[in-house]
């Protein structure tokens, strides 16, 4: 199964058992989270494709929070020629690593049942 989900303002293409790095979410490590902002869903063969306007209501993605990490250091260098001005800055982004456990398409009866994992607005 294949899906495109949205975390914050960024969209990610995911499959089951993938690990992705998203902007820091501040969630507890080891916690399972249901993501309901699914933009596109496709089965394994690609014959059944659903696209949301903007989100699909009957498709949920369950992810596990693996932990928080810091990204690679980015160096910013500014210089003005002939003015003796130089400035160097460093920056490292904070990320949350998520592992995709399940991508499920819910039917009408399953949609009304409460899901066990916590639902978090992302």
pLDDT digit string (tens) for the chain, length 122 residues: 899 999 989 999 999 999 999 999 999 999 999 998 999 999 878 788 999 999 999 999 999 999 999 999 999 999 999 999 999 999 999 999 999 999 998 876 555 545 466 667 66
Give the tokens for residue 34: 């249901």
pLDDT score, position 115: 47
Residue 72: domain span:
2-119
Is residue 18 packed enough to be buried (19+ CB in 10 Å), middle (13-18) or exposed (0-12)? middle
| Domain count of the fold of the chain | 1
* pLDDT tens figures, 24-53: 999 999 999 999 899 999 987 878 899 999
Which helix (H) or strand (E) segment holds residue 108: the answer is helix 108-112
């Amino acid at each position: 199964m294949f899906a495109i989900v949205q975390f914050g303002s960024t969209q990610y293409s995911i499959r089951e058992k993938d690990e992705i790095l998203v902007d820091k979410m501040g969630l507890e490590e080891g916690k399972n989270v249901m993501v309901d902002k699914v933009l596109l869903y496709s089965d394994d063969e690609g014959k059944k494709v659903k696209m949301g306007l903007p989100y699909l209501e009957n498709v949920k993605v369950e992810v596990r929070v693996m932990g928080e990490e810091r990204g690679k250091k980015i160096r910013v260098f500014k210089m003005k020629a002939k003015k003796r001005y130089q400035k160097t800055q460093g920056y490292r982004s904070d990320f949350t690593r998520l592992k995709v456990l399940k991508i499920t398409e819910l039917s009408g009866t399953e949609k009304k049942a409460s899901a066990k994992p916590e639902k978090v607005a992302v």
